[in-house]
């Protein structure tokens, strides 16, 4: 089984998807100069995004052996990446969540909401940067390599792209060119994601210590990889099929695609944690 | 700053695991946790010469490893709560069990398997060098129990003056990563760090 670290698997994948989606939706809102009414029209689909983020945080707390001491995780803010991750993740959630609350309550005006949006985007980026660094430990050769940042960023890009489109389409703010452009980006992003997965497995085949071979850590590694790739491609197919058929994407096909692609990412992250080893024992 | 460490005589160690068990008993550890572990690194094989098989390069040796109370501890660097800390007074790496949140990230980072999670307690535990005994002028329990006198504990500077500075041997990782405060007397069959000709012969015991 590769899901013994299920809480971290769900936390990281859901957080990366939510932050990726938030960055894209908010960047678009800022770039297109949304007015207050327009921002507020996103309140329902954005609830889904924050629910995904919130679910991620719930999973992260189940990871702790002593959840009642969760606040101690802030103690090493500034010197331990895990503290930074928790702090900036929480800050992203609070600032972004406040912006969402204002959009629900029709309060604050466009300027205040946009300032909060920019704040949440910056915090989200620091959150993601910290999350990568949590795993960049020089005694863990299967994590301490370029594929950790690459695979985390690709989860943000693929998951975020799909979630942002789901949000935009659900807010009834899409049109053919927007959908087409996102779908074209999706094909490119999934292709890069596959290259990263192949590259990572190539590296894993070479990593070993005196007593551990990385390639022997997971029983049926090839099988898991096949399912991961198959789910990713199936998700992509369902994602882009309406555009190939010259109809329009809709929340239903996008949701199905999101479920399939998240499942693929969860398997990939399961393998990431299962491939943990150190340079020693 | 004072810095304690261990001397491990791999040329004497017979792998009897009295140290492991003495510690387990003294610290009242459950089945899964061992603050000191004896690793058996073995390898080599036999070659056929006509009708007989002759010993070619068969080897096996033991390394008794607890926490190495590193000068650059990987566990302390990643700890978000600050529970994992290096004591100013004696350089021992200790987890404050009142503060630890049980995220287990220290055990991800440590290449020696020193921090160990207690499911019952919900937080990390580890070898603390028996600092209370040491403060009383006694030796850590593992050192005192060794029937081969293959373990010593003391100020690392003194141990290094007496026995040299070797801290690298397979299957231990390169010592430059965490600067472990150990001195090892090599077994005659010892293989260098990074060696991949052997294997861990007792994975279920460590």
pLDDT per position as a tens digit, A139-171 = 999 999 999 999 999 999 999 999 999 999 999
Mean pLDDT of chain A: 96
Which secondary structure element, helix H or strand E, spans residue A180, and what is its range?
helix A176-204
pLDDT digits (tens, 9 = 90+) for B112-170: 999 999 999 999 999 999 999 999 999 999 999 999 999 999 999 999 999 999 999 99
Residue A1 forms part of a structural domain: no
pLDDT of residue A108: 87
| Pairwise CB contact (< 8 Å): A211 & B199 | yes
At A229, which CATH number? Answer: 1.20.1630.10
**Per the CB < 8 Å rule, is A139 touching B177?**
yes
Place B191 in a pLDDT band, splitting at 50, 70 and 90.
very high
Total structural domains within chain A? 1
Pick the closest to residue A57 from A158, A141, A127, A147 (CA basis): A127
Tell me: pLDDT of B195 over 80.
Answer: yes
* CATH code of the domain made up of B4-69+128-205: 3.30.70.20
Q: The domain containing residue A222 runs over which residues?
A: 6-274
Q: Are A173 and A41 in contact (CB under 8 A)?
A: yes
Residue A89 to chain B, least CA–CA distance (Å): 14
Mean pLDDT of A256-280: 98
Q: Counting one residue from A and one from B, how many pairs have CB atoms under 8 Å apart? A: 122
Bin B69: left if φ > 0, else alpha if -120 < ψ < 50, else beta.
left
| Confidence class for position B1, pLDDT limits 50, 70, 90 | confident
Nearest CA in chain A to B78: A80
For residues A55 and A10, give the distance between their C-alpha atoms in angstroms, rounded to a whole number: 8
Contact A210 B121 (CB under 8 A): no
Cross-chain residue pair A76–B82, CB shorter than 8 Å: yes
Instruction: Kindly tell me if the per-residue pLDDT of A246 is higher than 80.
Output: no
Lowest-pLDDT choice from A68-72, A105-109, A200-204, B120-124: A105-109
ipTM surpasses cut 0.85 = yes
Tokens 């938030």 — which residue?
A22
In tens, the pLDDT along A82-126 reads 999 999 999 999 999 999 999 999 988 999 999 999 999 999 999
> To 5 degrees, how large is the angle CA A85–CA A91–CA A92?
90
């Amino acid at each position: 089984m590769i899901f013994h670290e299920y809480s971290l698997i769900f936390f990281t994948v859901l957080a990366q998807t939510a932050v990726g989606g938030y960055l894209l939706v908010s960047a678009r809102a800022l770039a297109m100069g949304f007015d207050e009414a327009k921002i507020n029209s996103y309140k329902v689909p954005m609830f889904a995004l924050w629910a995904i983020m919130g679910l991620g945080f719930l999973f992260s707390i189940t990871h702790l052996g002593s959840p009642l001491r969760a606040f101690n995780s802030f103690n090493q803010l500034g010197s331990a990446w895990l503290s930074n991750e928790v702090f900036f993740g929480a800050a992203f959630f609070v600032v972004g969540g406040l912006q969402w609350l204002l959009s629900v309550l029709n309060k604050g005006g466009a300027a205040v909401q946009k300032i909060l949006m920019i704040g949440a985007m910056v915090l989200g980026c620091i959150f993601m940067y910290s999350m990568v660094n949590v795993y960049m430990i020089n005694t863990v050769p299967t994590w301490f390599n370029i594929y950790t940042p690459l695979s985390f960023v690709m989860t943000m890009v693929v998951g975020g792209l799909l979630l942002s489109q789901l949000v935009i389409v659900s807010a009834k703010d899409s049109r053919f060119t927007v959908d087409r452009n996102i779908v074209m980006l999706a094909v490119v992003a999934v292709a890069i994601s596959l290259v990263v997965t192949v590259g990572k497995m190539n590296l894993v085949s070479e990593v070993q210590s005196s007593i551990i071979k990385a390639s022997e850590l997971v029983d049926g590694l090839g099988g898991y990889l096949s399912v991961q790739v198959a789910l990713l491609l199936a998700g992509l197919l369902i994602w882009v099929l309406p555009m190939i058929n010259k109809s329009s994407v809709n929340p239903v096909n996008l949701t199905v695609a999101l479920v399939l692609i998240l499942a693929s990412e969860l398997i990939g992250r399961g393998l990431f944690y299962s491939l943990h080893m150190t340079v020693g024992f | 700053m004072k810095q304690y460490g261990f001397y491990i005589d791999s040329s004497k160690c017979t792998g009897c695991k009295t140290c492991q068990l003495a510690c387990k008993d003294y610290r009242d550890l459950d089945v899964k946790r061992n603050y000191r572990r004896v690793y058996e690194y073995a390898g080599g094989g036999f070659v056929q010469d006509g009708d007989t098989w002759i010993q070619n390069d068969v080897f096996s040796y033991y390394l008794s490893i607890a926490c190495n109370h590193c000068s650059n501890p990987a566990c302390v660097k990643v700890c978000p709560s600050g529970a994992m800390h290096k004591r100013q007074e004696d350089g021992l790496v200790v987890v404050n069990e009142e503060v630890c949140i049980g995220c287990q990230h220290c055990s991800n980072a440590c290449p020696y398997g020193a921090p160990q999670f207690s499911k019952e307690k919900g937080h990390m535990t580890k070898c603390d060098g028996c600092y209370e005994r040491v403060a009383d002028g006694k030796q850590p329990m593992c050192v005192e129990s060794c029937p081969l006198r293959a373990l010593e504990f003391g100020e690392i500077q003194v141990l290094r003056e007496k026995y040299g500075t070797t801290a690298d041997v397979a299957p231990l990782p390169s010592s430059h990563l965490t600067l472990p405060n150990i001195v090892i007397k090599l077994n005659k069959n010892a293989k260098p760090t990074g060696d991949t000709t052997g294997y861990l012969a007792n994975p279920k015991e460590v």
